Amino acid sequence: GNSVTQMEGPVTLSEEAFLTINCTYTATGYPSLFWYVQYPGEGLQLLLKATKADDKGSNKGFEATYRKETTSFHLEKGSVQVSDSAVYFCALSDKQGNKLVFGAGTILRVKS
Amino acid sequence: KAGVTQTPRYLIKTRGQQVTLSCSPISGHRSVSWYQQTPGQGLQFLFEYFSETQRNKGNFPGRFSGRQFSNSRSEMNVSTLELGDSALYLCASSLGARHSYEQYFGPGTRLTVT
């Protein structure tokens, strides 16, 4: 079955540091890939998405590129802020509909 | 445009009781999906409804059920509650059936079973 693997956290960075959160997936066919973010006490917010190989999703300084050859969708940001502290989830959706399969989530802590 | 709303936000129930959670999708969205979030199991898909029909179902026991109304609002029901049902239940809506459509999540209903 489909699955998503994320790097374990927590990831602790200083403000303005470079962020990478690794995400790899296993799926048949060509899934759509997503990054969601969850702030404490809230639901999930869509951060970015990519629907085909080599697509780059970007939003609020975050970006991720759909790499079919390595089945990866790593999240990056050039300079993190304290306000980026949250839990980040990588997810995929296959052609069978709107069922999202999530990774375990990665806690990001940014200190000033 | 208003986002996805879920009611109630918090709920405390006793083992053996049943509970109904409600979700109102974004206006114009026809697909509603439900997810369970727990510290141990993470985010797990429960089921998805599109145009009042269940299109997809996750691996949950029959105690978990749902439905969708003609206005796309959805409810999920859990009968004979168990302690392990304590979780954050998230609802998500999207435009329709294509897997590339973004899903937008509500704030969730925090269910505590005692």
Residue-level pLDDT at B66? 97
Q: Is B100 part of the contact surface with chain A (CB cutoff 8 Å)?
A: yes
How does the average pLDDT of chain A come out, rounded? 94
User: Quick check: A43 pLDDT over 70?
Assistant: yes
Residue-level pLDDT at B97? 65
CA distance A67 to A55: 8
DSSP 3-state of B95: coil
Residue-level pLDDT at A29? 84
Distances in Å between the Cα of A53 and the Cα atoms of A47, A60, A66, A97, B98 are 18, 22, 5, 19, 17
Local structure of residue B26 (DSSP, 8 states): P
pLDDT in tens, A79-102: 999 999 999 999 999 776 678 999
The proportion of chain A whose per-residue pLDDT surpasses 90, expressed as a percent, equals 84
pLDDT in tens, B64-74: 999 999 999 99
Interface of B with A in 36-65 (CB under 8 A): 42-43, 45, 48, 50, 55-56, 58
**Subunit contact A102:B42, Cβ cutoff 8 A:** yes
User: Quick check: A30 pLDDT over 80?
Assistant: yes
**Subunit contact B50:A105, Cβ cutoff 8 A:** no
Provide the number of CB pairs (under 8 Å) joining chain A to chain B.
Answer: 68
**Subunit contact A99:B100, Cβ cutoff 8 A:** no
Residue-level pLDDT at B100? 64
In chain A, which residues have their Cβ closer than 8 Å to the Cβ of B43? 89, 100, 102, 105
Residues A34/A88, Cβ–Cβ less than 8 Å? no
Given B48, B92, B108, which is nearest A97 (Cβ)?
B48
User: Quick check: B5 pLDDT over 70?
Assistant: yes
What confidence category does residue B88 fall into, taking pLDDT thresholds of 50, 70 and 90? Answer: very high
Given A43, A45, A95, which is nearest B99 (Cβ)?
A95
**B73 vs B2, which has greater pLDDT?**
B73
Residue-level pLDDT at A97? 67
Structure tokens at B19: 């509970």
CA distance B80 to A3: 30
Nearest Cα of chain A lies from the Cα of B45 at a distance, in angstroms, of 7
User: Quick check: B87 pLDDT over 80?
Assistant: yes
Closest Cα to residue B5, out of B66, B93, B64? B93
**Subunit contact B33:A99, Cβ cutoff 8 A:** yes
**Lowest-pLDDT choice from A30-39, B47-56, B80-89, B93-102:** B93-102
For the beta carbon of residue A74, count every other beta carbon within 10 angstroms: 18
Residue-level pLDDT at B72? 95
Long-range contacts of A55-64 (CB under 8 A, 24+ apart): A57/A33, A62/A35, A64/A23, A64/A33, A64/A35
**Residue of chain A whose Cα is closest to the Cα of B94:** A98
Residue A69's Cα: distance from chain center in Å? 18
Residue-level pLDDT at A69? 95
